């Protein structure tokens, strides 16, 4: 998911998306511990996607507080 697509989401949607991504990352880690993944770069991509979501969420929260 691109940053421009993420910026269009609301704060609530971002929070839900972060929870979903975190559970998917946990499943990937568990599956990788049991048997190696075909593409371990999926875990790296998932971590970066979570970080991207959290960064944009934080930016939106900061904009809301500065506008008050």
pLDDT tens-digit readout, 8-55: 999 999 999 999 999 999 999 999 999 998 999 999 999 999 999 999
Distance in angstroms (rounded) separating the CA atoms of residues 38 and 44: 13
pTM score of the predicted model: 0.89
The domain of 52 spans: 30-61
Number of neighbours of residue 21 by Cβ within 10 angstroms: 19
Distances (CA, A) of 23 to 30, 51, 57: 11, 14, 18
pLDDT at 67: 81
Q: How many domains does the chain divide into?
A: 1
pLDDT(1) > 80: no
pLDDT at 64: 87
Residue 56 in domain:
yes
Answer whether 3's CB lies under 8 Å from 52's CB: yes
DSSP state of 40: T
């Amino acid at each position: 998911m691109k940053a421009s697509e993420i910026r269009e989401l609301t704060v609530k949607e971002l929070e839900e998306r972060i929870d979903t991504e975190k559970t998917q990352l946990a499943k990937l880690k568990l599956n990788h511990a049991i048997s190696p993944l075909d593409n371990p770069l999926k875990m790296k991509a998932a971590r970066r996607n979570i970080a991207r979501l959290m960064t944009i969420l934080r930016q939106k929260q900061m904009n809301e507080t500065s506008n008050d």
